[in-house]
Structure 1
């Protein structure tokens, strides 16, 4: 089932369509073209349904029934139309076509689909724009989710958000059988990943009473162990001078190892805190052991003491209830995976961060996710950041944009499959999801290199179904780019025209509607589909050329010239002509300006340069 049209009733979006506007039927390119109207009671009804002559069944790839585009000038309401699919715009009517495209359904809401909105912009949407089937993957919402709504400075928030982004990138890159598509996109991968271990500041209000002394004792043991191990290492290396000790990296690995252990312990306790006060009296230690028991004190180091505590502690809600244990294996695996990934002491610059290769980073990510998921059922799914990731190389904005787009979709699919989608943001999500996805890509091609814009529509058809396997996927995009639009049949495009400060949706039979898009010339697309007026060059270049033309014409017509300035002005305008790269304009202006001189050397030079350019181009084609 696919969404083929949206009806916006009259006088409900006056800021877009103007005061007292009529109802707007927005067709997305289904098998039929629909026209809805309203009766005197403002009840919408189907006025007309006629066959779309340019519709092609199974035109798109990989279980995608329909892809549509919305284009128009800035301020015409492209994003507003996307917003019409959210709950706060329930005044709309939605027209769906069933699998065989012969039947249709008019619905009051968009609940038939799971709706996913993606934008690379920092749009701040209000909470009432979310509902049970809508998932906001915009830049702002992702940053809020990634940082767990912590009250931190902007630099720290961006660091944590970028870290979560990189985790998503790595998981996306590691999707099975994806490598061929990545090669087609020519996206870079990373040889080195920087791992940073964050401290977690917690209160002690909701930790079980019997557990608190053990956590306090573990903190004390960490400090003692660090002092002992560092001194032993300095003695082994015979380092006694303050300068030698300061410059040596010998103790940094020890500090880093113990920081990892310490901060995983803090993270575990923080999960207890975030689980609420339901386990205050219900925490128990086997055999009534205490923090002073020899079995605990005789553990050889802090890590083993922590493991001992995990194995001997449990939650029991009542005398007859089952015992709830910590996810010991997942906690151990996280610590051991981190410790096994540490480089040699000589390669450690900081005792809170280190570099790993791509495979090690992926193993850490998986261990960390398993750690978090293991607590979900009996405790809580805690997103406070313990480990952050950053690439050891810089990426262009376009590379980041492509990774962001596909990796957030992949991450959402992971959350849905693991039944943690309801906690994806601050909003409540419905318990179950459908197999129909409607993905809204709001200028997701922004910042892409032209070569990637050429591939954009083709790539999203291949990768998005690769991520959401066995789903029916419909896509609506907004764009300002003619390369992107050249992949769309004309009837799959919604054109919005700004006219006297109000937006007009151009019907298929409108004389103002562009008629050529699919495989069309880029210049034609710019001029028609994006309503670019007054030529297809930049206004600055256009103004410079027009001033040169004006100067030439004035001096051709004038019998009197200022001899003091004429030579300088002539040389200036000849230089302007020489840098123009449109050959017809360039040659014509060189011909015109040569009329002001006794010779035509400048015109000859321009013609010779053009001949050289064309000869070089011909030789290249050979």
Structure 2
């Protein structure tokens, strides 16, 4: 199943706009409106829907993959289109066309009296799918799934897709998802991946300070008694890593869940049976834990003891990723997460790392791949990724499309349609213009404008980044920074004013003196700005401007500079002979 076309009546800043998502077809919905007695417009019954099949279309992507990019400035409507595609608003008036390989399926969510005259297109037929016809919808889409991936906070309410928020900050949660991907050695990834996973136990001093700070919050607590009866066991904790893990897991869990923590400490240390060993303390604290928490603690400790290899010299445990239990980190996370599932970084006793030092780019690609692996089943899928390259270094943005194509081609046989919003010219250089939707924002209304037709002569595929960036669509006010632009523009404006008023300046002695003073005060700075311009052609243009200005306001110095340049180029004797003959 493939999304072909979307027409939107009105949603946020998108008003009466259509968008083509598949180069296989060219669709255009031509709405006609009437006004009711109140002057409100409504859609007429018989509107024209034009669908042209592109029989010459050839895809550069693998047979089971189709990619469409949506590009435009912030606020132009890129993310809004993805919102609509996910059906987040069932009452939204829209027209959506899908293609299942044999026939085009039109989903019409307009009023019941709206109708379209469908025509047979070659061997491809059209079938109307009314939004209320659930049985037909379910039969057509039972093997079709949608996923919406974003890397920013977003609240959506949808009924027919899976929404996944990729947060690069939840490192522990992301680590578990990545591990689940890496455990499957059949999955082929486009770069070298880690083979081992290491858990580091934080220093005792770090956690001891947390314990002390927690206890000291209650002024009635006898801290000296605690120090004498509790922290004198510190040596035993340091010497036995597994006991230390178990003890700190218990404490972390109590800190997270038990609001009456000080009473727990008091009941243990002020009881008649005050603990004499770390084992006594562990047994007593276990009384305050739920059965599920006890089970999780025992699971973690037993895993470290039986499955991990302990480092003799450091407080570390290492395991081959494929042998790591897929729920290890999730159970640890649950153990020190609050009732509302908030992960307590303060009570975190572990640091996680892979044997390979992953760059930020590799980690983010692994995160995207692992999220996809976690969610996608063996069904045709439409995957929406909202600015997935946003936090990637340009060197990784260059590989974004290549890596995505490699991942899907090597690991999935079902049909995949990727809808990407992007600001990156690196990504657009990997996508043909036929697969790009160009959006503009109306400067007066702020409404979305589909500018794709205006870009027909703009070939993106294989274009160099400078060409893409310098195109007016992406940089309406030029490519350079505003500060540099302002400095260069000042020289250009001064030159233009002088050339326009040159005759008046030359004929007015007092005005000419003021102009000369103005130029001479700024001449050195102007020439310096010209000398450091990085674009050769622009640098030469500004040099010509300044030479022209110097000829007007500092003629003698201009002559001397020209003479010096001729001497350097041709030699003093040659120049002298030339001048003598002249």
Please state which band the TM-score falls in when normalised by the shorter chain: 0.5 to 0.7
Deviations 1:521-540 (A, max 9, x none): 44443355734324333333
- 1:401–1:444 contact (8 Å) kept in structure 2: no
Query: What residue ranges of structure 1 are gaps of 5+ in the alignment?
Result: 143-157, 200-222, 234-250, 274-296, 316-324, 348-353, 418-432, 609-622
Q: Relative to structure 1, is the Cα distance of residues 337 and 565 closer, same or farther in structure 2, using a 3 angstrom cutoff? A: farther
- 2:67–2:419 contact (8 Å) kept in structure 1: yes
Q: Relative to structure 1, is the Cα distance of residues 498 and 342 closer, same or farther in structure 2, using a 3 angstrom cutoff? A: same
Structure 1 residue 456: deviation in Å?
Answer: 1.4
Q: Residue 109 of structure 2 corresponds to which residue in structure 1?
A: none
Q: Residue 51 of structure 2 corresponds to which residue in structure 1?
A: 49
Structure 1 residue 300: deviation in Å?
Answer: 12
Structure 1 residue 480: deviation in Å?
Answer: 1.5
Q: Relative to structure 1, is the Cα distance of residues 271 and 2 closer, same or farther in structure 2, using a 3 angstrom cutoff? A: farther
1:333 equivalent among 302, 322, 336? 302
Q: Distance in 2 between matches of 1:451 and 1:582?
A: 23
- 2:438–2:450 contact (8 Å) kept in structure 1: yes
TM-score normalised by the chain length of structure 1: 0.59
Q: 1:169-248 maps to which residues of 2 (within 5 A)?
A: 169=178, 172=181, 176=185, 181-183=190-192, 194=200
Q: Distance in 1 between matches of 2:340 and 2:518?
A: 77
2:494 equivalent among 551, 555, 563? 551
CA RMSD of aligned residues (A): 5.1
Q: Distance in 1 between matches of 2:196 and 2:490?
A: 50
Q: Relative to structure 1, is the Cα distance of residues 413 and 450 closer, same or farther in structure 2, using a 3 angstrom cutoff? A: closer
1:133 equivalent among 161, 166, 171? 161
- 2:30–2:48 contact (8 Å) kept in structure 1: yes
1:262 aligns with 2:243: no
Q: Distance in 2 between matches of 1:175 and 1:225?
A: 49
- 2:146–2:161 contact (8 Å) kept in structure 1: yes
Q: Residue 111 of structure 2 corresponds to which residue in structure 1?
A: none
Q: Residue 210 of structure 2 corresponds to which residue in structure 1?
A: none
Q: Relative to structure 1, is the Cα distance of residues 272 and 93 closer, same or farther in structure 2, using a 3 angstrom cutoff? A: farther
Deviations 1:218-243 (A, max 9, x none): xxxxx999878656x6xxxxxxxxxx
Structure 1 residue 263: deviation in Å?
Answer: 5.0
Q: Distance in 2 between matches of 1:195 and 1:405?
A: 27
- 2:4–2:20 contact (8 Å) kept in structure 1: yes
Q: 1:49-128 maps to which residues of 2 (within 5 A)?
A: 49-52=51-54, 55-57=57-59, 59-61=60-62, 63-64=64-65, 66-90=66-90, 91=92, 92-100=94-102, 102-103=124-125, 107=129, 112=141, 113-121=144-152, 123-126=153-156
SS at match of 1:114: strand
Bigger radius of gyration, 1 or 2?
2
Q: Residue 3 of structure 2 corresponds to which residue in structure 1?
A: 3
Q: Relative to structure 1, is the Cα distance of residues 373 and 538 closer, same or farther in structure 2, using a 3 angstrom cutoff? A: closer
1:598 equivalent among 556, 559, 568? 559
Structure 1 residue 87: deviation in Å?
Answer: 3.8
Q: Residue 373 of structure 2 corresponds to which residue in structure 1?
A: 413
Q: Distance in 1 between matches of 2:564 and 2:364?
A: 51
Structure 1 residue 97: deviation in Å?
Answer: 0.9
Q: Residue 474 of structure 1 corresponds to which residue in structure 2?
A: 417
Deviations 1:296-337 (A, max 9, x none): x9x99579989x99xxx999xxxxxxxxx9699955633425
Q: Distance in 1 between matches of 2:164 and 2:4?
A: 22
1:538 equivalent among 474, 477, 481? 481
The count of residues paired between Structure 1 and Structure 2 equals 461
- 1:442–1:479 contact (8 Å) kept in structure 2: yes
Structure 1 residue 578: deviation in Å?
Answer: 0.5
Q: Distance in 1 between matches of 2:126 and 2:544?
A: 63
Q: Distance in 1 between matches of 2:464 and 2:248?
A: 58
- 1:334–1:371 contact (8 Å) kept in structure 2: no
Q: Residue 506 of structure 1 corresponds to which residue in structure 2?
A: 450
SS at match of 2:560: coil
Q: 1:280-429 maps to which residues of 2 (within 5 A)?
A: 330=299, 333-336=302-305, 340-341=309-310, 344=313, 347=314, 354-355=315-316, 359=319, 366=326, 368-369=328-329, 388-389=350-351, 399-400=359-360, 403-411=363-371, 413-414=373-374, 416=375
Q: Distance in 1 between matches of 2:343 and 2:85?
A: 32
Q: Distance in 1 between matches of 2:542 and 2:401?
A: 40
TM-score normalised by the chain length of structure 2: 0.63
Q: Residue 13 of structure 2 corresponds to which residue in structure 1?
A: 16
Q: Residue 518 of structure 1 corresponds to which residue in structure 2?
A: 461
Structure 1 residue 588: deviation in Å?
Answer: 2.7
1:436 aligns with 2:377: no
Q: Relative to structure 1, is the Cα distance of residues 125 and 225 closer, same or farther in structure 2, using a 3 angstrom cutoff? A: same
Structure 1 residue 67: deviation in Å?
Answer: 0.7
Deviations 1:95-131 (A, max 9, x none): 111135745555567983422222223x3314xx233
Q: Distance in 2 between matches of 1:195 and 1:116?
A: 37
Q: Distance in 2 between matches of 1:531 and 1:374?
A: 46
Q: Residue 540 of structure 2 corresponds to which residue in structure 1?
A: 587
- 1:439–1:476 contact (8 Å) kept in structure 2: yes
Structure 1 residue 383: deviation in Å?
Answer: 8.7
